[in-house]
Chain A
Amino acid sequence: MRGGKNLSTDYMLTVNGKQTEFKENQTVRNFLEEKGLEPQKVVLELNKEILSRENWSETILQDGDSLEIISFVGGG
């Protein structure tokens, strides 16, 4: 336990390999919106499983989750 720190902001998740803070009871969709991402343009993997778009509003992020946010880029 870290002394003096507000526990409600102490939730960490790994996003694209980086440790990132998130709010308690935050849904995946809400997290994406907060990051300024257009939901239609990205694909998600939550803990190595693809999370289909229909489930983003119901899925609540958990401490220690690993999230991959993926999109298309140029390639040959």
Chain B
Amino acid sequence: MLPLRGISRDDIIIKNINMKNTLKIGGKELKSRFFMGTGKFANFEEMQKAIIASKADVVTVAVRRVDLDSKTDNILDFIPKDVVLMPNTSGARNADEAVRIAHLAKAAGCGNWIKIEVIPDNQYLLPDNLETLKAIEALVKEDFVVLPYMNPDLVMARRMVEAGAVAIMPLGAPIGSNRGIKTKEIVKIMVKELSVPVIVDAGIGKPSEAAECMEMGCGAVLADTAVATADDSVLMAEAFAEAIEAGRKAYLAGTGGVQESASASSPLTGFLRDS
């Protein structure tokens, strides 16, 4: 007897040409579109496992004074050497302070990437776009690979790109708030209009929100709090990685149109009834 259905899943190999896409930033080809932060983890061992589970190619760190009164492990010992280290300038309240922190970060000898973060306010941690622009102008001249964290604004983002920013990192919601992509409408416009990758940074609380950013065409997503404060941060890192990959695939595939009324999946004829 012939089998009812002729094909086994192993008979057909699908080669998806669209997935041959990497994110190119600052001369680096990144396989992963998940940028992961390293703050708020319970300990460095857990952070290390989360980094590995996330498959992130870019990992952020901050720059601080060493506490001479308490001996702590060094975070660099727990970050795989094959990931790009992207120090941020958190703590900077103006362009000059951001430039100073960038210099210190570069002097550590871990590359020339810098995430500019200039924040004058402590309640909402919203960035100062104008001071950020000034810091970009200064640091691009010194051959830094500059990625600015910014309050979503197309005109300002364009100025930042003109000044040499290699990507733009608009916030989705206040840092650490886990509220999701509240700035969606502006970010969508930025994705459409800017010539550099848009990387949503801050506020992303769940993998579904990260996937949504990627479906919109964002170049990448940065998450920290959402992963680090999950009950199981390692599993959450993996969940984010999968969501970001799924969202990217959906963007490349092109999502179907949205409409008000239903559209039947099968013909509305040939029903087993007479009227």
A8 at the interface (CB under 8 A from B): no
Whole-angstrom distance between the Cβ of B206 and the nearest chain A Cβ: 16
B120 at the interface (CB under 8 A from A): no
Contacting residues of chain A (7-50) with chain B, CB-CB under 8 angstroms: 15-18, 35-38, 41-43, 45, 50
Q: When chains A and B are docked, how far (Å) is the Cα of A37 from the Cα of B223?
A: 31
Whole-angstrom distance between the Cβ of B203 and the nearest chain A Cβ: 11
Size of the chain B interface, CB-CB below 8 angstroms: 36
B107 engages A74 (CB within 8 Å): no
Size of the chain A interface, CB-CB below 8 angstroms: 23
Q: When chains A and B are docked, how far (Å) is the Cα of A36 from the Cα of B104?
A: 21
B12 at the interface (CB under 8 A from A): no
B184 at the interface (CB under 8 A from A): no
B74 engages A75 (CB within 8 Å): no
Contacts of A18 in B (CB 8 A): 68
Most buried by B among A36, A38, A42, A71: A71
Main secondary structure of the interface of B (DSSP, over half): mixed
Contacts of B225 in A (CB 8 A): 76
Contacts of B90 in A (CB 8 A): 75
Q: When chains A and B are docked, how far (Å) is the Cα of A38 from the Cα of B77?
A: 12
Contacts of B75 in A (CB 8 A): 71-74
A69 engages B66 (CB within 8 Å): yes
A16 engages B62 (CB within 8 Å): no
A36 engages B37 (CB within 8 Å): no
Q: When chains A and B are docked, how far (Å) is the Cα of A33 from the Cα of B125?
A: 37
Contacts of A16 in B (CB 8 A): 65-66, 68
B62 engages A50 (CB within 8 Å): no
A70 engages B202 (CB within 8 Å): no
The 8 Å CB contact of A38, one of B38, B74, B103, is B74
Contacting residues of chain A (54-76) with chain B, CB-CB under 8 angstroms: 68-76
- Nearest to A35 among chain B residues (CB) is B68
Selected A-B contacts with CB under 8 Å, 10 pairs: A38-B74, A50-B107, A68-B65, A69-B66, A71-B108, A72-B63, A72-B85, A74-B38, A76-B37, A76-B38
Chain B interface residues toward A at CB < 8 A: 37-41, 47, 60-66, 68, 71, 74-76, 85, 87-88, 90, 103-105, 107-108, 110, 175-176, 201-202, 222-225
